[in-house]
Amino acid sequence: MLEILDVPDPAVGPGQELMRVEAGGLNFADLMTARGGYPGTPKPPLIAGREFCGIKESDGQRVMGYAQWAAFAERTVARTELLWPAPNGWSAEEGAAFPVNYFTAYFAYWKAGLIPSNPSNPPPRVLIHAVAGGVGTAAVQIGKLLGVEMYGTSSSEEKLARVKELGLQHGINYKQRDYEEAIHDLTQGEGVDAVFEMLGGEHTNKSVRCLRDFGRVIVYGSATGEKPLLDTRLLYAKGASVHGLWLTYLSANRELMSSAWRQLSAWTAQGHLRPVIGRVFPLEQAQEAYRLLAEGNNFGKVVLKIR
Ligand X SMILES: NC(=O)c1ccc[n+]([C@@H]2O[C@H](COP(=O)([O-])OP(=O)(O)OC[C@H]3O[C@@H](n4cnc5c(N)ncnc54)[C@H](OP(=O)(O)O)[C@@H]3O)[C@@H](O)[C@H]2O)c1
SS3 call for 127: strand
Stretch that binds ligand X, among 41-49, 176-184, 220-228, 234-242 (CB under 6 A): 220-228
Q: Give 234-280 as a DSSP string.
A: HHHHHT-EEEE--HHHHTT-HHHHHHHHHHHHHHHHTT-----EEEE
By CB under 6 A, name the one of 155, 259, 263, 285 that touches ligand X: 155
For ligand X, the closer of residues 101 and 268 by Cβ is 101
Q: What angle do CA 267, 271, 275 make, to 5 degrees?
A: 85
Pick the closer one to ligand X by CB: 49 or 134: 134
> CB 152 → ligand X: shortest distance, Å?
9
Q: Provide the minimum distance between the beta carbon of 112 and ligand X in the complex, in angstroms, as a whole number.
A: 14
- Residue whose CB is nearest to ligand X in the complex, by number: 133
Residue 94-113 contact track with ligand X, rule CB under 6 A, x = bound = ------x---x---------
Contact with ligand X (CB under 6 A) among 19, 64, 115, 130: 130
Shortest spacing between CB 47 and ligand X, in angstroms: 19
- Structural contact between residues 34 and 290, judged by C-beta atoms closer than 8 angstroms: yes
Query: Which of 223, 260, 283, 289 contacts ligand X by CB under 6 A?
Result: 223
- Can you list the positions of beta strands (E) in 131-266? 149-154, 170-173, 192-197, 211-219, 241-244
DSSP assigned state of 300: B
Looking at this protein, which amino acid is placed at residue 211? L
Q: Which residues contact 190 (CB under 8 A, 6 or more apart)?
A: 212
| Residues numbered 244-263 forming contacts with ligand X, rule: CB under 6 A | 245-247
Q: Cα(7)–Cα(75) distance, rounded to whole angstroms? A: 10
Question: Which among 84-92, 163-171, 208-216, 290-298 is the span making contact with ligand X, rule CB under 6 A?
Answer: 290-298
Nearer to ligand X, 55 or 97 (CB): 97
Contact yes or no for 59/72 (Cβ under 8 A):
no
Interface mask toward ligand X for 31-70; x: CB under 6 A: ----------------------------------------
**Which residue number, 19 or 172, has a Cβ lying nearer to ligand X?**
172
Q: Does the protein bind ligand X through residue 221 (CB under 6 A)?
A: yes
Nearest 10 degrees: CA dihedral of 120, 125, 126, 131? 110
Binding residues for ligand X, rule CB under 6 A, total 27
Helix, strand or coil for residue 18?
Answer: strand
Comparing CA positions, the residue from 35, 22, 8 lying closest to residue 294 is: 35
Site of interaction with ligand X (CB under 6 A)? 27-29, 100, 104, 130, 132-136, 154-156, 159, 198-199, 220-221, 223-224, 245-247, 293, 296, 298
